[in-house]
Chain A
Amino acid sequence: MSGNKQDVLWSPIHHDKFIVWGQDITLYEVARLQDIEKRSTYTQLSSTQGATVVASQSGSGVRCVDISAIADHPDPLLALGHNSGRVTLTSLKQTYDPLGLVGREFVAKYPRPCISVAWNCTESSLLAVGMEKHRSDNCILLWDVQSSGLDEYDESSPTPSEPARPLSGVGKGETAHSVAWCGFAPRTIVASMNLKHIKIFDLRENGDKASATTSSRLNLGAVCEAGGWRLATRGDAGACVWDARALAAPLLTLAMPRAPRRLLWCPTRRNLLISLQRDSSTLRLHDIQQVHDHQSQEAFDGVSEEAETEPCGRGALERDVWVCGAPLAAFACHPTRRACLLVLTAAGALSEYTVSERVSLSWGAGGALAWAGGGALRRMHPAFYSQVRDVAHVMRERASTDYGLKPDLWQNADLADDEALSGLWHFLALSKSLVEDGCIRNSPWKHPGVRGVLRSPGEGYRSEAAATLLPDLPSRKVTTYRSAERTRALQLCGWGWGWDSAGAGVERAEAEGTPCRAAALAAFHLRLRAALDVLARARAPALRVAALALAPCAGAGAADERLWREALAAAAPALPDPYLRALLHFLSAALPPSAPQPHQPDYSAVLNETEMRLEDRVAFACIYLPDGPLHEYLSRTWTELRARGSLAALLLSGVSADGIGALQRWLERSGDVQSAALLAARCAGAELLRDERVRGWLAAYRSLLDAWRLWWPRCLLDTWVAAAGGGGEGAGAGVACTYCGKPVAAAATARPRPAFARLPPPAAKMKQISSCPNCRKPLPRCGVCSLHLGTGAAGGPAPAPPVPPAPPAPAPAPAAGAAAGAHFGGWFSWCVACRHGGHAAHLLQWFSEHSECPVSSCTCRCSALDPPDPPEVPSAPAAPPGSVAVPSGGDS
Chain B
Amino acid sequence: MSELATTNLFESQTIIADHKDLIHDVAYDFYGERMATCSSDQHVKVWDTDGQGGWRLTASWKAHHGSVWKVTWAHPEFGQVLATCSFDRTAAIWEEVGDTSASGSEKGLRTWVKRSNLVDSRTSVTDVKFGPKHLGLLLVTCSADGIIRIYEAPDVMNLAQWTLQHEIPTKVSISCLSWNPSLSRSNSNPPMLAVGSDEPNNVNATGTQSDKIANNEKVFIYEYSESSRRWTRTECLSSVVEPVNDLAFAPNLGRSFHLLAVATKDVRIIKIEPLSESSSTTNGGGVRFKTEVMAAFEDHNSCVWRVSWNVTGTLLASSGDDCCVRLWKMQYMNQWKGVAVFKSDAASSEAAAPARAHTTYTRLAAMANPAHMPYH
Q: Which of B164-172, B206-214, B215-223, B318-326 contacts A (4 or more CB under 8 A)?
A: B318-326
Partner of B26, one of A270, A371, A374, A882: A371
Q: Is the CB of B76 within 8 A of A867?
A: yes
Task: Determine if A458 is an interface residue (Cβ-Cβ < 8 Å).
Answer: no
Interface core residue of B58, B96, B107, B312 (most chain A CB under 10 Å): B312
Beta-carbon contact of A671 and B32 below 8 Å: no
> Which residues of the partner chain B approach A870 to less than 8 Å between Cβ atoms?
33, 48-49, 51
B66 interface residue (CB < 8 Å to A)? yes
- CB closest chain-A residue, reference B198: A317
Task: Tell me whether A307 and B319 are in contact (CB under 8 A).
Answer: no
The answer for the CA separation of A870 and B76 in the assembled complex, in Å, is: 14
Say whether A671 contacts B314, CB under 8 Å: yes
A384 to B10, Cβ gap below 8 A? yes
The answer to whether B344 and A373 touch across the interface, beta carbons within 8 angstroms, is: yes
Interchain CB contact under 8 A, A377 and B37:
yes
Is there an interface contact between A48 and B311, defined as CB atoms closer than 8 Å?
Answer: no
Whose C-beta in chain A lies nearest to the C-beta of B246? A360
Pick the contact of A667 from B65, B76, B254 — CB < 8 Å? B254
A696 engages B183 (CB within 8 Å): yes
Known: A373-B344, A696-B183, A851-B98. A364 touches B329 (CB 8 A): no
Min CB gap A651→B, angstroms: 9
- A830 CB, min distance to chain B CBs, angstroms: 13
Task: List B55-77 residues whose CB lies under 8 Å from chain A.
Answer: 55, 58, 65-67, 76-77
Q: Which residues of A contact B298 (CB under 8 A)?
A: none
Complex: chain A residue closest to B67, CB-CB:
A289
Cβ-defined contact, A380 with B323, below 8 A: no
Q: Mark B83-118, 1 if CB is under 8 A from A, else 0.
A: 000011110000011101000100110100010010
Q: Is A819 an interface residue (CB 8 A)?
A: no
**Residues of chain A from 112 to 140 with CB closer than 8 A to chain B in the complex:** none
The 8 Å CB contact of B354, one of A336, A420, A833, A865, is A336
- If A360-B24, A671-B312, A861-B98 touch, whether A388 touches B367 (CB-CB below 8 Å) is yes
CB < 8 Å neighbour of B77 from A664, A704, A881: A881
Chain A: CB-nearest residue to B48:
A868
Asked if A269 is at the interface of the complex by the 8 Å CB criterion, the answer is yes
Q: Which residues of B contact A636 (CB under 8 A)?
A: none
Interface segment, one of B227-235, B275-283, B285-293, B331-339: B331-339
Compute how far the CA of A718 lies from the CA of B17 in the bound complex, rounded to whole angstroms: 41
Chain A residues in 8 Å Cβ range of B50: 871
Bound CA span A378–B357, Å: 10
The answer to whether residues A697 and B24 also contact, given A366-B33, A380-B12, A388-B339 and a CB cut-off of 8 A, is no
Residue of B nearest to A611 (CB): B374
A381 sits at the interface (CB 8 A): yes
- In the assembled complex, the CB of B335 is this many whole angstroms from the nearest CB of chain A, namely 10
Residues of A within 8 A of B314 (CB): 390-392, 671
Complex Cα–Cα for A378 and B317 (A): 14
| Contact in complex: A418, B35 (CB < 8 Å) | no
CB of A389 closer than 8 Å to a CB of B: yes
B31 touches A611 (CB 8 A): no
| Cα–Cα distance between A46 and B325 once the two chains are bound (Å) | 20
**A382-B34 in contact given A338-B346, A373-B344, A389-B370 (Cβ < 8 Å):** no
- Is B9 touching A383 in the complex (CB atoms < 8 A)? yes
Cross-chain contact B66 with A292 (CB below 8 angstroms): yes
Docked complex Cα distance between A720 and B26 (Å) = 38
* Interface residue B2 (Cβ < 8 Å from any Cβ of A): no
- Given contacts A667-B253, A692-B184, A304 and B355 within 8 Å (CB-CB): no
B309 interface contact, C-beta 8 A: yes
In the assembled complex, 22 residue pairs joining A and B whose CB atoms fall closer than 8 Å, in A order, are A296-B65, A304-B90, A338-B357, A356-B320, A361-B26, A362-B25, A362-B28, A362-B35, A363-B310, A367-B310, A369-B310, A375-B17, A377-B15, A377-B35, A384-B361, A389-B367, A390-B310, A390-B315, A419-B375, A610-B374, A696-B183, A863-B98
Q: Show the binding face of B for A, using Cβ within 8 Å.
A: 9-35, 37, 40-42, 47-51, 53, 55, 58, 65-67, 76-77, 79-80, 87-90, 96-98, 100, 104, 107-108, 110, 114, 117, 119, 123-124, 157, 182-184, 186, 251-257, 302, 305-306, 308-315, 317-323, 325, 327, 329-330, 332-334, 339-340, 342, 344, 346-347, 349-350, 354-355, 357, 359, 361, 363, 367, 370-371, 374-376
Closest A-B pairs by Cβ, 8 of them = A364-B32, A864-B98, A365-B32, A359-B319, A372-B23, A673-B253, A364-B28, A366-B32
* 5 extra A-B contacts, CB within 8 A, seeds A373-B325, A374-B357, A418-B370: A307-B89, A359-B325, A375-B16, A376-B15, A696-B184
